[in-house]
Chain A
Amino acid sequence: MNIRDEVLRIIAEQAVLDPKDVSPEMAPSDLGIDSLGLVEAIFAIEETFDVSVPFNANDPSASDFDISTVGAIIKAVEGLVAEKAAAEG
């Protein structure tokens, strides 16, 4: 499974856009994704990759998980998937 494509698909679905119209430098707010949309996208990421995303909606910027842009989210998910693979040996 290509992580980048899957994350783009999840975010595009939340933004009601075609995945090819979503690019890494965009911020969730640029795509019209509000806090509730972000929480739902993170749930989809957890379900898709079977990982736990450290994210508190009270203060998204304080979480370890960087959600500032689509590219940052892809990078963070790649990190979580790599950590999981390492933990499972």
Chain B
Amino acid sequence: MKRVVITGAGTVNALGLSVAETFDAFREGRSGITALDFRDVDRLSIRIGGQIHNWEPEAHFNRQQIVLYDRFTQFTLLAARQAVEQSGLDFRGKYGLESGVVLGTAAGGVNTWDDNYRTVYEEGKNRVHPFVVPKLMNNAAASHVGMEYSLRGPTFTVATACASSNHAMGLAFQMVRSGMAPAMITGGSEAMLCFGGIKAWEGLRVMSKDACRPFSANRNGMVQGEGAAVFVFEEMKHAKARGAEILAEVVGFAMTSDASDIVMPSMQGAERAITGALKDAGLNPEQIGYINAHGTGTAANDKTECAAVAHAFGPHADRLMMSSTKSMHGHLIGGTGAVELLACILALREGVIAPTIGYEEPDPECALDIVPNVAREAKVDAVLSNAFAFGGLNAVLALRKV
């Protein structure tokens, strides 16, 4: 078994167009949730989100690229560019033959679906752009990253709703650990903030109209975000031999299925994923200093997640810190675990625990240290990142300081 380290990270999300800007927002406890701005927003009852307002594709891509890149692919490519540059790796030779790309997205090119349905249904046109299919497909982002950097090994996309990125990163970790691939580009992306994307979510009546307040007694639902985060996972000896800067070590991963309900979470399923990740990592519960929570701000998730952590950790649950950064960047659905892994890296590398902002009232059913409103300095050596998806699919990653 090989050891796996992270040697590159990149992101675009509502908090900034780089890892540095995102870290600053985490330190400041700054919210990126604003009024949504897109066509037909006045026909929605939910009008807030973690939207990237200053996005200019022309600043990053040429015309030929833009006609092929949905917004979720654009976000992915910019995040991947930052990650690969930071890693310093070159995949164009033999090294790229076995290195690949595994990314998560729940819904892929939603904007492309939305724009083109509008064209044929609302505007009554009978012709769409020839690249609609290659633009909207869920694997478009993974394939474009592969083409950009000559990654010719295992490459695919994972879609497990809100756990997509964690599943993707978990698989990438396993591939490098087993020796199947010397390095993998991994993470995830989502761009669902458009009329059709939000309209679909409104139907479930789990969205907040005013703010995302995870673990707060007065929480009233989730707030969506958009963006991407991408990482380079590399075999540790290779990274050390070339003197690469190591951001963190990935040490464990576990996935479970509730097999019980299509939307309601299960405490047992979440708990089994948490204990499974600890076991896979060879960590004792007492070694975990921080958990980046799934923490959606819905009534159901937050109390179930707190109960799962309390069961998995026993008395240590009261000593560890757990925060939900969705309060700042929103819920990036299939991309959320990737952006949240940044909070884990910030905790391990800089000893800064990103807060759960918007916290107003204690909830006896969420009685853990959720780092309310203000970031905290604390030395942590090992962390977990939780993701629990609709469909009852749970994926938890464990990271350690190097």
Contacts and interface: CB of A to CB of B under 8 A. Distances in A.
Nearest to B302: A58
A7 to B, nearest CB: 18
A39 interface: yes
Nearest to A52: B45
Interface size range on A against B: 10 to 19
B147 interface: no
A55 B263 contact: no
Contacts of B94: none
A82 B239 CA distance: 70
Interface in A51-68: 52, 55-59, 62
B299 interface: yes
B205 A57 contact: yes
B220 A58 contact: yes
Contacts of B208: 58
Given A35-B264, A43-B203, A58-B221, 6 more contacts: A35-B300, A36-B262, A36-B263, A52-B45, A56-B206, A57-B205
Contact of B220 (A36, A39, A52, A59): A59
Contacts of B298: 58
What 7 A-B pairs come out closest when comparing CB atoms?
A57-B205, A58-B299, A58-B221, A58-B220, A57-B206, A58-B298, A39-B205
Interface string B204-223: 11101000000000011100
A55 B299 contact: no
Given A35-B264, A36-B262, A36-B263, A57 B204 contact: yes
B343 to A, nearest CB: 24
Given A39-B205, A43-B203, A56 B221 contact: yes
Interface in A23-71: 34-36, 39, 42-43, 52, 55-59, 62
Instruction: Please classify how large the interface on chain B is, using the bins under 10, 10 to 19, 20 to 34, 35 or more.
Output: 10 to 19
A56 B298 CA distance: 10
Contacts of B263: 35-36
Q: Which of B204, B205, B219 has the most CB of A within 10 A?
A: B205
A63 to B, nearest CB: 9
A57 B45 CA distance: 15
Nearest to B203: A43
Nearest to B220: A58
Interface string B290-322: 000000001110000000000000000000000
Interface in B264-308: 264, 298-300
Choose among A36, A57, A62 the residue with the greatest number of B CB atoms under 10 Å from its CB. A57
A58 B204 contact: no
Contacts of A57: 204-206
B264 A58 contact: no
A59 B207 CA distance: 11
Contacts of A39: 203-205
A52 B299 CA distance: 22
Contacts of A34: 264
B205 A55 contact: yes
B206 A58 contact: yes
Interface string B120-135: 0000000000000000
A62 B217 CA distance: 12
26 contacts: A34-B264, A35-B263, A35-B300, A36-B264, A39-B203, A39-B204, A39-B205, A42-B205, A43-B203, A52-B45, A55-B205, A56-B205, A56-B206, A56-B220, A56-B221, A57-B204, A57-B205, A57-B206, A58-B208, A58-B219, A58-B220, A58-B221, A58-B299, A58-B300, A59-B220, A62-B220
B303 to A, nearest CB: 11
Contacts of A55: 205
Contacts of B45: 52
Interface string A1-40: 0000000000000000000000000000000001110010
